[in-house]
Structure 1
């Protein structure tokens, strides 16, 4: 059972907790951390996208943030971001490497695997410079089926025109200062 802090519109815990499954069944506001891995190439900045496992409870098989996850009750944004990097991609980083892009509010209602999925999250968005090849990563196969590097401008275009399966908000990509 994964317990999440219930939070206000600014991502501040209210003192209540909720099970993750209930948060998504009822649309209870909670927190997540999103980390975008970036690297420089002669053509410009590239961003790492993860492809979500086909077994995920939401957006299976879609391209997503480099690393992201729910924040367990009592944990802060930064510690959760670093934990997700380790778990999903097998990468270690230090808090000093995280560049804070701010908060974004994500609200949606969908159906996955025949069940309603209501998402109401306050996400802290970070980026980190990490030039690492996909074969050097240890992917958590239950979460991530693969990763690809893509030029940031191409990623923005493909998200906006929906030319790839994704669950990325264009507004979140625009938070990256490049």
Structure 2
């Protein structure tokens, strides 16, 4: 079954419904759900990244948002998000466990692939009591210190360390290991999480 998405103009007004492949081919604005898991431990903040499956058509093997996906036409935003979390991470969260972090418009390009997303960003405070049961779109979940990731984004360091939450193995990461999001998006995530944590 084709995945049908609502498309929007530059002003954010819906203009119709198109097949997902056509949306990416034509570079149409569409809505996505992003949920960043974070952990607080020893007064430090950690981000959780999923490693995309090597079978993924776009950005295989790269590290990305903990859980994310498209919001299909006429689909409820939160229901879509909780569905993606369940499919990718095997976790059944409730709406009140996922907090709004804001909206960011981002453009990703790779060859003829043009991904113009209206990103509905959300956060979830992770605890080790949750057991991941990853789906076939994900091959690992890695925890990275937020401060180190921030240095990687700004270019203050070239290599950072993470820990797999599935195997407990350490892993070294460089910028090219991550999905190439806009720097503005990455800085938005870092700042938003810091502000969110301060209010807890």
TM-score by length of 1: 0.87
Partner residue, 1:87: 87
Structure 2: tracts of 5 or more residues without a match: 159-173
Q: Distance in 2 between matches of 1:106 and 1:76?
A: 21
Gaps of 5+ in 1: none
Aligned length: 171
Residue equivalent to 1:154:
148
> How far apart are 1:151 and its partner, in Å?
1.3
Q: Deviations over 1:117-138 (max 9, x none)?
A: 011110100001121378x211
Deviations 1:83-140 (A, max 9, x none): 11100000111111121111001113212xxxx1011110100001121378x21111
Match of 1:166 in 2: 178
Task: Tell me the TM-score normalised to structure 2 length.
Answer: 0.78
Which range is displaced more, 100-109 or 164-173?
164-173
CA distance in 1, matches of 2:11, 2:123: 20
- Answer 1 or 2: higher relative contact order, Cα 8 Å, separation at least 6: 1
Cα-to-partner distance string for 1:60-98 (whole Å, 9 max, x where unaligned): 111101000011111132221111110000011111112
Aligned equivalent of 1:4: 5
C-alpha RMSD over aligned residues: 2.0
SS in 2 for 1:55: coil
Which portions of structure 1, spanning 4 or more consecutive aligned residues, are displaced by more than 3 angstroms? 8-14, 159-162
Change (3 A) 1:10 1:38: farther
Report how far residue 58 of structure 1 moved.
1.5
Equivalent-residue separation in structure 2 for 1:13 and 1:95 (angstroms): 25
Q: Are the structure 2 counterparts of residues 126 and 66 from structure 1 closer, same or farther at C-alpha, using a change threshold of 3 Å? A: same
Q: Distance in 2 between matches of 1:146 and 1:12?
A: 37
Which of 125, 129, 133 does residue 121 from structure 2 map onto?
A: 125
